[in-house]
Amino acid sequence: MKLIAQKEAQDFVQTGAKEFRYNREFRLTPGAKDVFTEAGVKLVFDEGAPAPAAPAAAGSPAAVAAGSTDDDKLWRSPETANLKAQICEMGRRMWIREYCDGNGGNISCRLGPDRFLCTPTGVSKGFMTPDMLCMVDGNGKQLAGTWKRTSEFMSHAAIYKSTPDAFSVAHAHPCYAGAFAVKGIQPPPRLIPELEVFVGTIAYAPYMHPGSPEMADEIFKRAPQHQSIIMGNHGVITWGKSVEDAYFKMEITDSYCRTIIHAQSLPGGVAIPAEGMSELLKLKQGIGLPDDRYDLKPAQLAEVDPWAEVCGQHGCSSPVNAWNPQSATETAPAELEALVKKLTEEILKNLSK
Ligand SMILES: [Zn+2]
């Protein structure tokens, strides 16, 4: 709840804006209403608008223009405008792919040394416009933009701090990767080349309060070697070398998890052989992407049985390989043969008596 009193209203009037949009998150004092009326500022109640939808009062952290000239220049540059458009487009894709529910998810990218562009809080990522984005520093202090920055920016900042290669970060709550997040299972490797090369091992970070310094610490540790991290009981955070690349990691991660979940309803299970894994990792190293397995020998790469990982260790009553139609038809005649042999022996024994 944000209280708009006479003082806040006067500050707002000074920005020159002629419309004050608010919703039930705002409480306007009668004095504030008088100030708006006298100044000819129209009050617009917009229920769908999130809490910070109204232009921020001058002097508040979310004031429209950036404080310093350099920041203002950066904020209004064509490069920033281009990145804002890219972030809105990736938000639209995340929403279309059902990766973000309600107002969930957030995207950011680097703008310059200690300057970042990020999405606002309280808005569907599928319907953002460039004017909604925010500029912040590495400590999350908002420097420009009329909307309040995402509350989860510090998880993004942790990646920028620990991983100089990260240009952009995306966070969402996609359902298939989310299934792994709520089961506390790290998706196993060795199943699909696309993931091995373009994402690598998906890391798993235990649950910490969203946006907290503890969450940031967990992300900080894992980001240099993992471009995709499942956050326990929460969602996924990915980084990339461009805004679209960060989004791609999200898409590949969720697709991979979706395939595993569907595959579990089928019998059997195979994995990429050791040599295949070595080849994929060589290819990946050539592209210059990070991976924590470059030092492993082929045999070590094949040590993980992906299907045992998914089904074996978390109370699954039927190991995936338990039902194998091929071996079932092979063993059945053998058992039958043994039975026939045993019966024949019995009969012969009885006959000879
Ligand atoms: Zn989240």
Which pLDDT tens digit goes with each residue over 25-66? 778 888 888 888 888 888 887 776 544 444 444 334 444 456
Mean pLDDT of 15-27: 75
Fold (CATH) for 77-263: L-fuculose-1-phosphate Aldolase (3.40.225)
For a pLDDT cut of 90, what percent of the chain falls above it?
63
Whole-number mean pLDDT of the chain?
A: 85
Q: Tell me how far apart the alpha carbons of residues 55 and 62 are, in angstroms, rounded to a whole number.
A: 8
Q: In the chain, which residue ranges form alpha helices assigned H by DSSP?
A: 6-14, 30-39, 69-75, 78-96, 153-162, 175-183, 193-198, 213-222, 243-263, 274-287, 298-301, 306-312, 325-352
CA distances from 62 to 119, 147, 149, 310 (A): 13, 7, 8, 45
Residues of the chain with CATH 3.40.225.10: 77-263
Name the more confident of 26 and 126: 126
Torsion angle of the four alpha carbons 135, 140, 146, 151, in this order, in degrees rounded to the nearest 10:
130
Residue 344 pLDDT > 50? yes
Helix (H) or strand (E) holding 136: strand 134-136
Q: Which residues are catalytic?
A: 152
Q: How far is CA 24 from CA 1, 150, 151, in A?
A: 8, 20, 20
For residue 346, give Cα distances in angstroms to 63, 309, 337, 342.
Answer: 95, 47, 14, 6
Determine the distance separating the centroid of ligand 1 and the alpha carbon of 221, expressed in angstroms.
18
* Residue 74: predicted pLDDT: 95
CB atoms within 10 A of CB 338: 10
β-pair type (2-4, 26-28): parallel
Residue 317 above 50 pLDDT?
Answer: no
- Given this model, what pLDDT does residue 351 score? 66
Per-residue pLDDT at 83 exceeds 80? yes
Contact 225, 145 (CB under 8 A): no
**How far does residue 246's CA lie from ligand 1's centre (Å)?**
16
Exposed, middle or buried: residue 350 (CB in 10 Å: 0-12, 13-18, 19+)? exposed
Distance from Cα 147 to the centre of ligand 1, integer Å:
18
- Report pLDDT for 61: 41
Q: How far is the CA of 5 from the centre of ligand 1 (A)?
A: 32
